[in-house]
C-alpha cells in the first residue's frame, strides 16, 4: 500500500545519503546477490549483497531415522559450514579489494565500509564470519601504551585481571580482532531488505496472473510434477502434499541443508539430485 511505499522510499533514501557521504566505499548487505559498479577508469563503489551461509533446516519436513535433522546449532541457525563459507568469501574480498587494488585500507576504516543485515541470527552471523575474512586477526586496534592498558578495565572486579592483561599486551582484543559494526532494523520495518516487511498487493497480483499462463501450466506439468513424484518417493511425503509450496520448500530445505552440512541423506539423494530440485524450490518460494 501507500504507507509501505513511503516507508520503503524513506529507507532507500536514507541508505543513499549514507553512500553520498563517502567518496569511495564498500557496502555489504546480507541478502542475495553480488554486484560491482565501476566507471571505465576508476572503481568508485562496491555493493555486495548475499544470502546467509549453510544453515540448519527451519523445520522438520519428513521423518527420517538417519539423523539428517541432528543439528547442534538449532533449527534455522547458521552452521559451522556456513561460517566457513562466509569466512572464505571474506578472504577473497580482502585479496580483491585490499591486496590487489588497494580500494580498501588494510585496517578497518569506518568511512570506507557500511554493513547492513536483515534482523535474523543466521544473516548476522554470516556477515560477521565474512568480516573476519575481510579484516582478519592481526588487523584490529591496539592500545597506545602500557599506561593506557592499565586504565582499560571496567568499573568492577575482573578475576585474573593481571593474567588477562598480560596475555593481551597492547592488543585491544585477543589476536587484534577487529569488530565491525553490523547495522540492522526489525524485520517488519525493513522494507529495503526483508521479505517479511509489509506486503505489496501489486506484486501478488502479478504473481497470480503469471501462475495462470499457459507457459506456467506447461512448466508445472512437464518439469515440476515429475520431480515431485521423485521427491515423494525419497521422503514419503505424498505428491498432493508436496504441491503445497511450503511443504515442498521445507522438504527441499531439509535435503539441501543436510547435503551441505554432511548429514546422512535418504537413499538415492545426492548433491546432483538436490541441485536438480533447486529451481523448483525457487519457483515455489517466489511465486506462491
**pLDDT digit string, tens, across residues 110-147:** 999 999 999 999 999 999 999 999 999 999 999 999 99
- Distance in angstroms (rounded) separating the CA atoms of residues 77 and 59: 11
Rg (CA), the chain: 23
Q: Which whole number is the average pLDDT over 46-69? A: 84
Residues 227-286 have pLDDT tens digits of 999 999 999 999 999 999 999 999 999 999 999 999 988 888 999 999 999 999 999 987
One-character DSSP codes across 19-70: HHT-SSEEEEEESS-EEEEE-SS-EEEEEEE----SB--SS--S--TT-TT-
pLDDT of residue 205: 86
Residue corresponding to grid cell 575474512: 133
Please tell me the total number of residues recorded for the chain in this structure. 288
SS3 state at 71: coil
- Average pLDDT of the chain is 85
Cα gap 191→14, rounded to integer Å: 12
**Can you spell out the DSSP letters for 208-241?**
HHHHTSHHHHHHIIIIIHHHHHHHHHHH---HHH
Confidence of residue 16 (pLDDT cuts 50, 70, 90): very low
Cβ proximity of 48 and 231 under 8 Å? no
Say if residue 34's pLDDT is above 80.
Answer: no
What is the rounded CA–CA span in Å between residue 107 and residue 32? 26
Cβ atoms of residues 18 and 211 within 8 Å = no
Report which of 108, 168, 111 is spatially closest to residue 143, judged by C-alpha positions.
168
Supply the pLDDT for residue 127.
97
29 — pLDDT class (breaks 50, 70, 90): low
- Helix, strand, coil percent content, the chain, rounded in steps of 5: 50, 10, 40
Q: How far apart are CA 234 and CA 266, in angstroms?
A: 6
- Long-range CB pairs of 148-155 (<8 Å, 24+ gap) are none
Question: DSSP strand E in 76-184: where?
Answer: 113-117
Half-sphere exposure in the Cβ direction for 72 (13 Å, CA): 4
- For residue 181, the model assigns a pLDDT of 96
Distance, in Å, from the CA atom of 248 to the CA atom of 224, rounded to the nearest integer, reads 11
Given a cut of 70, is residue 1 above it in pLDDT?
no
Amino acid at each position: 500500500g501507500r504507507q509501505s511505499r513511503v516507508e520503503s522510499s524513506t529507507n532507500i533514501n536514507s541508505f543513499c545519503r549514507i553512500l553520498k557521504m563517502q567518496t569511495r566505499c564498500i557496502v555489504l548487505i546480507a541478502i542475495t546477490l553480488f554486484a560491482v559498479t565501476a566507471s571505465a577508469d576508476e572503481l568508485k563503489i562496491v555493493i555486495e549483497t548475499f544470502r546467509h551461509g549453510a544453515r540448519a533446516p527451519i523445520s522438520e519436513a519428513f521423518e527420517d531415522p538417519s539423523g539428517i535433522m541432528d543439528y547442534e546449532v538449532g533449527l534455522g541457525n547458521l552452521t559451522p559450514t556456513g561460517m566457513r563459507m562466509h569466512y572464505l568469501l571474506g578472504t577473497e574480498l580482502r585479496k580483491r579489494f585490499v591486496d590487489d587494488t588497494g580500494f580498501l585500507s588494510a585496517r578497518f576504516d569506518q568511512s570506507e565500509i557500511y554493513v547492513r543485515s536483515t534482523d535474523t541470527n543466521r544473516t548476522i552471523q554470516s556477515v560477521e564470519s565474512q568480516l573476519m575474512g575481510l579484516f582478519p586477526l592481526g588487523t584490529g586496534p591496539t592500545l597506545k601504551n602500557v599506561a593506557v592498558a592499565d586504565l582499560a578495565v571496567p568499573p568492577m572486579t575482573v578475576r585474573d585481571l593481571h593474567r588477562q592483561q598480560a596475555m593481551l599486551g597492547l592488543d585491544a582484543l585477543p589476536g587484534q580482532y577487529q569488530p565491525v559494526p553490523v547495522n540492522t532494523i526489525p524485520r517488519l520495518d525493513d522494507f529495503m531488505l526483508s521479505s517479511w516487511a509489509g506486503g505489496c498487493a501489486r506484486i501478488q497480483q502479478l504473481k497470480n496472473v503469471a501462475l495462470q499462463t499457459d507457459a506456467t501450466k506447461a512448466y508445472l506439468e512437464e518439469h515440476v510434477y515429475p520431480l515431485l513424484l521423485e521427491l515423494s518417493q525419497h521422503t514419503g511425503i505424498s505428491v498432493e502434499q508436496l504441491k503445497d509450496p511450503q511443504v515442498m520448500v521445507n522438504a527441499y530445505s531439509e535435503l539441501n541443508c543436510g547435503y551441505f552440512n554432511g548429514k546422512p541423506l535418504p537413499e538415492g539423494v545426492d548433491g546432483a539430485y538436490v541441485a536438480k530440485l533447486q529451481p523448483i524450490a525457487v519457483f515455489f518460494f517466489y511465486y506462491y
